Amino acid sequence: MKKDVLISLIPVVVLIAVLAITIHVFGSAALSGASQTALLAAAGLCCFIAMTYFKVKWKALEDGIKENVANVSIALVILLLIGAISGTWILSGVVPLLIYYGLQIISPSFFLVCTCLICSLVSVMTGSSWTTIATIGIALLGIGEAQGFSEGMIAGAIISGAYFGDKMSPLSDTTVMASTMAEVPLFSHIRYLVYTVVPTMVITLVIFTILGFAHPVTDAGEISLYVQTLEQKFNLSPWLLVVPLLTILMIARRMPALVVLFLSTLLAAIAALIFQPHVLLEVAGTDAPRGLELFTGMIRSIYGETQIETGVAAINDLISTSGMAGMLGTVWLIISAMTFGACMTASGMLRRITSLLVPLCRRRTGMVATTVSTGMLLNTMVADQYLSIILTGNMFKRIYNENGYENRLLSRSIEDSCTVTSPLIPWSSCGMTQATILGVPTLTYLPYCFFNFISPLMSICVAFIGYKVFRKFDETK
């Protein structure tokens, strides 16, 4: 049995080692192909071991890959639409308008804590961390860079807030999935999350407040330069706010994500035609105000890379876009990661590895710590938060029942680990997506995602204290 576990660990150890070397050699460019190659190579090694040592049929592995990739097919289309919405929201003037207002309203000392709170509110209302980061997150990143904050610090505040909302919103698919896997009513699950999420968020906000006040005073002239340049380059009409407001309304009405993102992209494209025709002509490469050139500029803003000249290099970088083409590397990485995860799961090697953790579940704290650790480990190995939630729920449901603990404890432990740590893994679907959307490498923003890495620790601490942790036969709740 121990030998089987050690054999099962070989692909994981090889993958981590190769990824470490790849990141060291290629740096941020590793995500342009080297990391994908490492994942596929590790998947190939996993298949070889599965077929030769564990005698697994190739058909089982192939079916596992098909199922895994099929499960993320909608997410891949969503990624492409996020790329489209990112490009159109910038070139239509929506994001520049939000930056323009934000620079004049938000004090630099309170910027980080306000960023975290704003993203929390939007994410709770929409139930989507990805949409929050791809819309309001991009605008806040621009405001923070104009105020002199490091991109890693800003991205950390954005992601911390977005994932708070992702956990606490009844509209969130991960929240619904975690409660479903543990067989807990949705609102009962959300209420139980309060005991770990609120203390974690309070600590996070305190840290961001301290960092904000420790930030050097921003040169008012630099902020004024940003404001004036955006004002000169774009037609910053308040009517542009209709686009984000309608987007939030559609999400609040629980319209499908694909529909919302498509319609939001369409609204922004129409807004660009109305308010920023000069920008579209520049993207198209001509000053001639002809309909075909406007159409060309609009389509390029949706699918491709665009550069707008403002005369200020920092603002040029801020409003440059990559459209759907910028998401292709992420799509490639996710498919590669899903292939590796499928091979590990279909071969039974993942089950053998996680079986090592079962003996650690004899006591309450050990049981929760093991659940949390397993969720984080699965995020690393299968590179997808949804798979991690499903696998962790299936693995530990019986253990919690046998030990007599409520399923609420299991659903909370899953949410405190699988959901929030997913953007911290560079090769996971969430880690790669957030890095691509914000243009900030995962390892750059990771140290500032305080909410995300405090959450698992808080879950273990609350379990150790025993506050509001009940057994099924306990009537005092």
Express each pLDDT in 53-72 by its tens digit. Answer: 999 999 999 999 998 888 77
Express each pLDDT in 300-313 by its tens digit. Answer: 889 988 888 888 77
Q: What is the pLDDT of residue 53?
A: 92
E-assigned strands of 187-289? none
Express each pLDDT in 400-446 by its tens digit. Answer: 887 788 888 888 998 888 889 989 988 787 888 888 888 898 889 99
Half-sphere exposure of 442 (CA within 13 A, CB side): 20
pTM to 2 decimals?
0.71
Rounded Cα gap, residues 162 and 124, in angstroms: 8
Length, in residues, of the chain: 477
Rounded Cα gap, residues 209 and 214, in angstroms: 9
Residue 449 main-chain phi, psi, to 5 deg: -85, 65
Is residue 231 pLDDT above 70, yes or no? yes
**Hey, what are 313's tokens?**
């290099």
- Which residue type is seen at 62? E
Rounded Cα gap, residues 235 and 56, in angstroms: 62
- The residue behind tokens 């699918």 is 303
Rounded Cα gap, residues 299 and 303, in angstroms: 6
How distant, in Å, are the alpha carbons of 45, 92, 149, 150, 466 from that of 154? 39, 23, 7, 6, 35
> Average pLDDT of the chain?
83
pLDDT above 70 coverage of the chain, percent: 90
Angle in degrees, 0-180, between the axes of helices 257-275 and 242-252, rounded to the nearest 10:
170
